[in-house]
């Protein structure tokens, strides 16, 4: 057995010992979903788990109460493993963040088993609020220095199937609020200013805009307030929208066009428009080709099979990937026909297949970190690149 094989065997042995506890952690988080920046229980459970595993844990980092940083090892190569643990409104962990959290913890513990021997510093970064679509936890942590000394960043996301370099595009979420004037809808409608009409005009304009945007662009949203009573001219309406493009540059071109659709509603009706959010968009994910290849090889050694996916989503890991060499592969939980953000997918994230994905994703990440640290020329390239 080579030294590298021995290191990987040590990581695997540690993960095997942690397997039951990691599955329990995943299912505990799944059973008690928490929304963005409210993940008090999940972040505490993860911090406690990593503390018990020998990590030095700092909670509430960078003025974010539900973020944490857990560190082990003292090697020259610093690998950051990102944990997500926020849920979706109404449908809980229908994006499988319970698995992301447990995989990150498992990868960290497995890699820490041999960190000093192979030359690793391993940090698990607790990243809240990925599902917000604007000012996600990783963006704030990145801006506030949490990734400054990381040479590599990685995470694995559950999906119907495995994919090493899934397409992840830029996105911006904002809220549009109209303020008009109430009046009796039948007796004195001429005295009102209809905020619902303003929103209808905006949505109609967006529908027409879709015929003149790129095929890769996306515009979608929901009405969060439509009025209070049918016999009262609505004075207050609101909508939450997401705009997506393949890159931040394309997103910056598209977003003002969408905003003008909302401005058209205000102009036509006389309602006042207020736009909030959208100021900290998610960037496209730049997968590091070499790291992705290492991860795929390690996952294939565990029996995983990979596919190319035509679909595209968005994540604040994109912002990290533009600064730190990163990977964000998908790992399959055998959920089809259910896909992410469906209630059926939430159910698929607490099955034996999901438990196996947890184990495989954690070990593949740990092995990828070990491969990188053990290859001195490659390791030195990553260290030098971040030093520039």
Burial 207-235 (b: 16+ CB within 10 A, else e): eebeeebeeebbbebeeebebeeeeebbb
Q: Are residues 45 and 152 in the same domain?
A: yes
Tell whether 159 and 54 lie within a shared domain. Answer: yes
Query: For residue range 66-79, what is the model confidence (pLDDT) as tens digits?
Result: 999 999 999 999 99
Average pLDDT over residues 57-85: 97
Q: Where does the pLDDT of residue 386 fall: very low under 50, low under 70, confident under 90, or very high at 90 and above?
A: confident
How many Å apart are CA 114 and CA 4, to the nearest integer?
Answer: 10
Tokens (6 digits) for 139: 């963006």
DSSP-derived 3-state class of residue 167: coil
Sheet holding 326-327, edge to edge: 56-59, 68-73, 120-127, 77-84, 152-154, 326-327
> Per DSSP, what are the bridge partners of residue 126?
68, 83
Confidence of residue 2 (pLDDT cuts 50, 70, 90): confident
**Helix, strand or coil, per DSSP, at residue 10:** helix
Q: Which domain, by its residues, includes 111?
A: 3-168+285-387
- Indicate if the pLDDT at residue 311 is higher than 80: no
Given a cut of 70, whether residue 1 has pLDDT beyond it is no
Domain boundary among 277, 293, 318: 277
Residue 149 confidence (pLDDT) above 90: yes
- Per DSSP bridges, beta strands 272-277 and 120-127 are unpaired
State how far the Cα of 273 lies from the Cα of 250, in Å rounded to an integer: 25
- What pLDDT does residue 310 have? 78
Distance between alpha carbon 311 and the CA centroid of its chain, in Å? 16
Residues near 55 by beta carbon (within 8 Å), at least 6 away in sequence: 70, 71, 72, 108, 109, 112, 124
The pTM is what? 0.94
d(CA 181, CA 308): 52
Task: Locate 380 and state its tokens.
Answer: 């030195």
Give the domain-ending residue among 241, 261, 277. 277
Amino acid 135: pLDDT: 87
Q: Binning pLDDT at 50, 70 and 90, where does residue 312 land?
A: confident
Tokens describing residue 39: 């993940």
How confident is the model at residue 138, as a pLDDT? 98
Query: 104 in helix, strand or coil?
Result: helix
Contact 103, 56 (CB under 8 A): no
Q: Average pLDDT, stretch 18-36?
A: 98
How long is the chain?
A: 388
Place 308 in a pLDDT band, splitting at 50, 70 and 90: confident
Give the model's pLDDT for residue 63.
97
**Is 176 found in the same domain as 149?**
no
User: What DSSP assignment string belongs to 347-374?
Assistant: HHTTSHHHHHHHHHHHHHHHHHHHHHHH
Decide which of 277, 306, 332 is a domain's last residue. Answer: 277
Q: Are residues 365 and 243 in the same domain?
A: no
> pLDDT at residue 321 above 80?
yes
What is the distance, to the nearest Å, from the Cα of residue 25 to the centroid of all Cα atoms in its chain?
Answer: 19
Residues 211 and 90 in one domain: no
- The verdict on 27 and 142 lying in the same domain is yes
Question: 223-243, pLDDT tens digit by residue?
Answer: 999 999 999 999 999 999 999
3-state secondary structure of 143: helix
Q: Residue 126 gets which letter from DSSP?
A: E
Peptide bond before 337: cis, by omega within 30 degrees of 0?
yes
Rounded to whole angstroms, the Cα distance separating 360 from 23 reads 12
The closest alpha carbon to 81, from 280, 333, 350, 329, belongs to 329
Claim to verify: residue 232 and residue 259 sit in the same structural domain: yes
CATH number assigned to the domain comprising residue 102: 3.40.630.10
Q: Vertex 375, ends 142 and 382: CA angle to 5°?
A: 30
* Region class of 92: left (phi > 0), else alpha (psi between -120 and 50), else beta: left
Proportion of the chain above pLDDT 90, given as a percent: 94
Q: How far is Cα of residue 285 from the mean position of the Cα atoms in its chain?
A: 11
CATH number of the domain within which 238 lies? 3.30.70.360
Same domain, 19 and 152: yes
Same domain, 34 and 146: yes
Q: What pairing do the DSSP bridges indicate for beta strands 77-84 and 68-73?
A: unpaired
Query: What is the total count of domains within the chain?
Result: 2
Q: Does 266 lie in the same domain as 314?
A: no
| Judgement on whether residues 83 and 175 belong to the same structural domain of the protein | no
Same domain, 33 and 125: yes
Helix axes 352-374, 3-31, angle to 10 degrees: 140
How far apart CA 366 and CA 362 sit, in angstroms, is 6
Residue 100 parent element (H or E): helix 97-112
Under DSSP, the state recorded for 63 is: G
Average pLDDT over residues 260-273: 98
Cβ-contact 348, 174 below 8 angstroms: no
Sequence-separated (6 or more) residues with CB below 8 Å from residue 218: 169, 242, 243, 244, 245
For 95-148, what is each residue's pLDDT tens digit? Answer: 999 999 999 999 999 999 999 999 999 999 999 999 988 889 999 999 999 999
């Amino acid at each position: 057995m080579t030294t590298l094989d021995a290191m990987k065997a040590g990581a695997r042995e540690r993960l095997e010992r942690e397997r039951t506890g990691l599955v329990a952690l995943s299912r505990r988080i799944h059973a008690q979903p928490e929304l963005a920046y409210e993940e008090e229980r999940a972040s505490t459970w993860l911090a406690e788990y990593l503390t018990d595993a020998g990590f030095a844990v700092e909670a509430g980092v960078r003025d974010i109460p539900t973020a944490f940083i857990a560190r082990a090892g003292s090697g020259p190569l610093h690998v950051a493993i990102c944990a997500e643990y926020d849920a979706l409104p109404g449908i809980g962990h229908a994006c499988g963040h319970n698995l992301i959290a447990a995989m990150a913890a498992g990868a960290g513990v497995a890699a820490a088993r041999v960190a000093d021997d192979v030359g690793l510093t391993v940090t698990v970064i607790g990243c809240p609020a990925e599902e917000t679509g604007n000012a996600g936890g990783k963006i704030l942590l990145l801006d506030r220095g949490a990734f400054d000394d990381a040479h590599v960043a990685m995470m694995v996301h559950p999906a119907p199937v495995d994919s090493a370099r899934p397409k992840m595009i830029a996105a911006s979420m904002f809220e549009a609020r109209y303020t008009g004037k109430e009046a009796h809808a039948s007796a004195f409608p001429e005295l009102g200013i209809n905020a619902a009409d303003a929103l209808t005009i905006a949505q109609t304009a967006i529908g027409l805009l879709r015929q003149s945007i790129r095929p890769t662009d996306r515009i979608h949203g929901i009405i969060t307030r439509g009025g209070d009573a049918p016999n009262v001219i609505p004075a207050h309406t609101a909508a939450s929208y997401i705009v997506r493009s393949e890159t931040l540059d394309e997103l910056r071109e598209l977003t003002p066009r969408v905003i003008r659709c909302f401005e058209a509603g205000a102009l036509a009706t006389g309602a006042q428009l207020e736009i909030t959010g959208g100021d900290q968009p998610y960037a496209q994910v730049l997968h590091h080709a070499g790291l992705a290849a290492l991860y795929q090889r390690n996952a294939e050694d565990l029996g995983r099979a990979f596919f190319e996916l035509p679909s595209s989503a968005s994540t604040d890991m994109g912002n990290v990937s533009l600064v730190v060499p990163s990977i964000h592969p998908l790992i399959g939980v055998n959920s089809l026909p259910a896909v992410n953000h469906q209630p059926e997918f939430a159910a698929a994230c607490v099955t034996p297949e999901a438990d196996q994905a947890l184990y495989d994703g954690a070990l593949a990440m740990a092995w990828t970190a070990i491969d990188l640290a053990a290859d001195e020329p490659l390791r030195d390239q990553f260290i030098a690149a971040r030093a520039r």
